[in-house]
Amino acid sequence: MGNCLRTNFQEPNSSVAIAQTPTGRSHQSMKVDRITVQERTTPTLSSTFLGESGSKRERHRSPLKERKPYVSSNTDIGVEKASTKKRRGYRIAGRPRSSYIEGVNKTDGAFHPYYKYKLHCFCYSALKEATHKFSSKNLIGQGGFGDVYKGYVSYCNMNSAAKPNEGLAVAIKMLRKTGTQGHEQWENEMKFMSKLNHPNIVKLIGFCHEGEHRMLVYEYMSKGSLETQLLAEKQPQLDWSRRIKVAIGLAKALDSLHNRGTPVIHRDLKASNVLLDDDFNAKLSDFGLARHGPQGDQDGVMTRILGTKGYIAPEYIGTGHVTLKTDVYSFGVVLLEILSGCCAVKTYSDGMAGDLTQWAGPYLGNKRQLHHVIDQRLGRNFPKKEAQKFAELILRCLGSDPKSRPSMTEVVAELKDLEENTSTTGSSSSSTQNSIHTPTFTPCPPPYKILLPIRK
């Protein structure tokens, strides 16, 4: 067997016979043979050298068997290979080799084809331990999707729980086990959020899909939701400058969604889906109802009417036609909540419900009556001219004609101008404003209650 690779010396210009390998397999070209040998040996040794003076072990090794190439999931090829078994754009069943999944569908034109976002695959036992068996003390929120718990995981190994205040704080959203709509939203949220990386969008860290358990793990936002801050009965932490800051952060998040290769419509923008960190930076969350927007010459797409009462644009309710301006309307409602400190729809014990947009509309366009809308907890600690411009922007966002509403790019520019004007005027009048007494807070002005009967 040691003579089977013997080299026959020939004239320089004559054709060279291809040496046969011990396996008995024939090769089509010297290039293929050379690549095969080099892959299994050191790169510095040629195939001819191995044929003449290879080691005894190399010459007497067992016949070579064809091996299936292993492709790492961290490479571009690995992404394509892993995407062959997927559901709605990402792999679901089983645990990936490296406990990560690639949340990227390369055929999805809404995002840059080479952008990757890795999600950590959490095991159920680790999340259960991180939340003290999903204790009620760790419950920080509830919604249509399910319950949200606060937990701590280790910095070194995220599949290990950590003691409170020692590890990484995370928010764990647990899907309710009943119904199929929740699972669709779970898949949809992971599909979109795994591809988004923006400072004003909540970061999705990972997921858990183990048996009947479905969970999503996010970065923890210490200040809670914008709704919680606005409706707090104690002295609010949201002064005028912070409210403008929150509005700008939220506007930037929507602007980034609307200006992607294929636009993304959030469809569920509301104060409870706007989260705040320690520095009151706003971050948009909850993409369970998000969908791709119109492309090319399209001005909108037809879809089921989904969303939250009080935030849905009127044309969307009437026709099921959703556009980018549908989000702009919802953003206008959130701006009105920021200005007034009231919720969009409030139901009272006597069966009446107040619609904030319809109640505030007449006051927003009247400079003398605008004080009825502005949150009374602010007192007079806000610049009057900037408040009027803020109200005018709200009216434009809430316009009945979608085409008359501004784009989110225009909204960001206007809010930045307001922020600059607030910083310049605020410093000159701060000594006067601080001496003004802040009146006692009332949740909503009296006229807000008598508007509309409750809508079902």
The answer to whether 357 and 398 have CB atoms below 8 angstroms apart is yes
How wide is the angle at C-alpha 281 spanned by C-alphas 278 and 285, nearest 5°?
A: 105
Residues β-bridged to residue 284: 201, 274
Residue environment code for 366-388, b if the CB has 16+ CB neighbours within 10 A, otherwise e: eeeebebbbbbbbebbbbeebbe
Q: Would you state the torsion angle of the CA atoms of residues 124, 125, 126, 128, taken in this order, to the nearest 10 degrees?
A: 90
Does 173 belong to an annotated binding site? Answer: yes
CA 99, CA 218: separation in Å to the nearest integer? 17
Write out the two tokens for 245.
Answer: 């800051």
How wide is the angle at C-alpha 27 spanned by C-alphas 21 and 33, nearest 5°?
A: 70
Residue environment code for 246-258, b if the CB has 16+ CB neighbours within 10 A, otherwise e: bbbbbbbbbbbbb
CA 306 distance to own-chain centroid:
19
Q: How many CA within 13 A on the CB side of residue 133?
A: 0
Strand, coil or helix: 148: strand
The answer to whether 454 and 347 have CB atoms below 8 angstroms apart is yes
The residue among 173, 184, 166, 241 whose CA lies nearest residue 429 is 241
In the set 268, 286, 327, 375, the catalytic residue is 268
Length of the chain: 456
CA 101, CA 112: separation in Å to the nearest integer? 18
Residues β-bridged to residue 175: 146
Please indicate whether residue 268 is annotated as part of the active site: yes
Specify binding-site residues: 173
Active site residues: 268
Binding-site residues for ATP: 173
